[in-house]
Chain A
Amino acid sequence: MQQFFSKRIDPLLLALLFALVVTGSLTNDAYAEATLEGTNPAQWRLVWKDDPATSATLCWSTAEAGEEHQVHLREAESEEPIVVQAKHNGRYSAKEPTLFYHCAQLSNLKPATKYYVVMESDGQRSPEMYFVTAPVDDVPISFIFGADSRSGHQERRKMNSMLGKMLAESHTAGRTPILAFAHGGDYIFDGRRLDHWSRWMSDHELTVSPEGQLLPLIPARGNHDVGPLFNEVFAFPAKDTNYYGTNLGPKVRLVTLNTETSVAGNQRRWLEKELATMRPERRWLLAQYHRPAFPAVKVPWTNLVYWVPLFEKYNVDLVCEGDGHNIKRTVPVRDFKADPTGVVYIGEGGLGVGQRTPKTRRWYISPDDAKTGVGHHVQLITLDQEQLACRVVLMGGEVFDEHFQSARSTAATLSDTAP
């Protein structure tokens, strides 16, 4: 039986808030504000896709093309770094500004292991930073969901700094470590403009923790992220359609979908196959994408018709949506009715963008067991063997909403009621 909408405040959360206040004076400037000059590495981002227990992609930018680009990768317990060549290099496909991307595929990594990295382009080196790979053991994990950083530049920077601090705090003793940051899209205002992307990539440096830990990114494409630059920034193949599944542990699968390509075509078929395969194997099955099927402000996207029946059929546990610029958690929904066995939709985006007022008369957000609000925020999602906790953390560290739900029983992972 699911345990929905508990109102209790987790003491660990209070500890998080305290830690955020205490560490407020700490900054991650040592790993931010890198200068884009010559071949000096800057704008680093670590991208997670299919199997982050053993692989990751590390990308950075330079102002000049350079000739040799590599990553010095060192396991925490080892003194000897190995050199990984950046094989995916090129000029961002925009006339201006002139910038170059470099991406190194880090593979054959050990699960749940700390790796130090230094990026190097033609002898110019970045500061040493580190990241931790995803576990293969069934241990509690957490990740952050957020969306809509396309405007509100100062707020975006503040939110990024907060993410860096949350990452650091989560890796202290007794806390569930934050593995990654699932960005639900609308990074920038106009995806065809490299000046917008460049600013975002520089701001993203602020998500590095004060200790130098990189926050891995699991990117979804938003409606403002149009054009080829998205795939260049996040190291997707040029024609990639940006839907994929990520293992955040042996029992957690996060499905990233793309509302900006065909929703009814190949993607729907892939989604059905993905959910059918993963549902029996995963305790937690989650999805993220940009345009909401159950919006708090805007109108439903066509995924309401083509994806929602699949979410219900395969009993997806939690769906993360962006685009609406507000805070939202729906009641559990099945067959267009509130149903305790249904799917909960959260999110709507607040990584800097101006906030909208939720339309609280909509049936899926009007009941007392739903929650809406306004404010820059992220969702901190923690998953263990029994329970999923979703907490809305506002800019500044205040927890706006807490939501708990129990793991579905194996028998309930395939719905008899859904079409």
Chain B
Amino acid sequence: MSEAINTETHRHRQAILWILRVTVALQCLGNWRWLTQVEETPLLHWLVNASDVGGLGWEESTALMSQQVLGWLVLLAGAIVLWRPLPAVLGIVVIQQILVSVAMWQNADGYPLQSQWLSPQLLTLFPFATRLGRIVAPLGLMLLVMRGKQSAEHRFRMQSVVTLFRGSMAVVFLTHGIEAWQHNPKFLDLLIGSSLKLFGLSLSQSVAEQILTVIGGLDIVLAILCLGLRWPSLFWWMAIWGGITAFSRVAAYGWNLGWHECFMRVPHIGVPLTVALWWHLLKYDSPAEPPAGSANNTPERAV
């Protein structure tokens, strides 16, 4: 019985690691295309922007070359992660993701959140929140593959990563929910374009806005629920929704223009999937010992 449980546990652990490895690899592929082929990224704009507006004022050729180097490094990192998830290699991906977020912050790029009670300076930090899932996917994997001396330490690290993932998904869904609630024009056009291309359905803007209001409300509710409930179905849904929204880029823009946009958002599938699988794993991992914070061993129970 114990051997069967151990086998199952090992299988789940491996599944979690592989989900994250594939997630990061695809994320790297999308970022490689963005940085090296598309080239026009917030990072490039930050590098070439004049210093009077918070840019670094680099020569365009230097900035482009630096971005090319980073893009190819990221692709190499993605390939290495599939072969062997080395923490140092994952660190490169984390740094690249943070750099893009910093660039968006410095460029005042990203969705212009409308708020009367937050200062403009604070509002410019919004991209860190919307992009959190893309940062924590490689970061979480990096923490998981760091070797602990004892299994208890490893388990603690896994729980920490899952907590980090839960929190980050809450933030990502909350911020995207707010964007949808406020009818981000990009979301409107994605919805209108996708429904036309996939279903031949010509949505009016008012209908698209109503749909976005519902989606936004649902996202905000999910963000709150996922912090309060240990409910794997919630994260399964988040993963499916993450997949739908990522794929909508391909549906709206076509494969050639949209595939890297889709791949860059794969963490919105991989991260919630990891949380859901971890809770399944807990069923097998310590049947006699309920997971911390759980009243019993039923994952569906609120904590």
Query: A residues touching B (Cβ–Cβ < 8 Å)?
Result: 93-95, 150-153, 189-193, 223-224, 226-228, 260-266, 297-299, 302, 305-306, 353-354, 356-357
Contacts and interface: CB of A to CB of B under 8 A. Distances in A.
A190 B120 contact: yes
Interface string B198-222: 0000001100100000000000000
Given A152-B50, A226-B112, A227-B112, A265 B204 contact: yes
B52 A298 contact: no
Interface size class of B (residues with CB under 8 A): 20 to 34
B270 interface: no
Interface string B43-64: 0000011101111000011000
Contact of B38 (A193, A260, A299, A302): A299
Interface of B: 38, 40, 48-50, 52-55, 60-61, 108-109, 112, 114, 116, 119-120, 123-124, 185, 188-189, 192-193, 204-205, 208, 253
Contacts of A265: 188-189, 192, 204-205, 208
B74 to A, nearest CB: 19
A262 B120 contact: no
Contacts of A224: 108
B188 A192 contact: no
Contacts of A260: 185
Contacts of B54: 189
Nearest to A191: B112
Contacts of B48: 354, 356
B189 A263 contact: yes
19 contacts: A95-B119, A151-B50, A152-B52, A189-B54, A189-B108, A191-B108, A191-B112, A192-B120, A192-B124, A226-B112, A262-B185, A262-B188, A264-B189, A264-B193, A265-B188, A298-B40, A353-B50, A354-B50, A356-B60
Given A151-B52, A190-B108, A297-B40, A94 B120 contact: yes
B139 to A, nearest CB: 28
B40 A299 contact: yes
Name the residue in A191, A264, A297, A357 with the highest tally of chain B Cβ atoms < 10 Å from its Cβ: A264
A158 to B, nearest CB: 15
A227 B182 CA distance: 13
A298 B188 CA distance: 22
A191 B108 CA distance: 9
Contacts of A305: 193
Given A264-B193, A356-B60, A189 B53 contact: yes
Nearest to A259: B185
A228 B48 CA distance: 28
Contacts of B120: 94, 190, 192-193, 227
A266 B208 CA distance: 11
Contacts of B114: 227-228
A302 B40 contact: no
Contacts of A306: 189
B250 to A, nearest CB: 14
A264 B60 contact: no
A163 B11 CA distance: 70
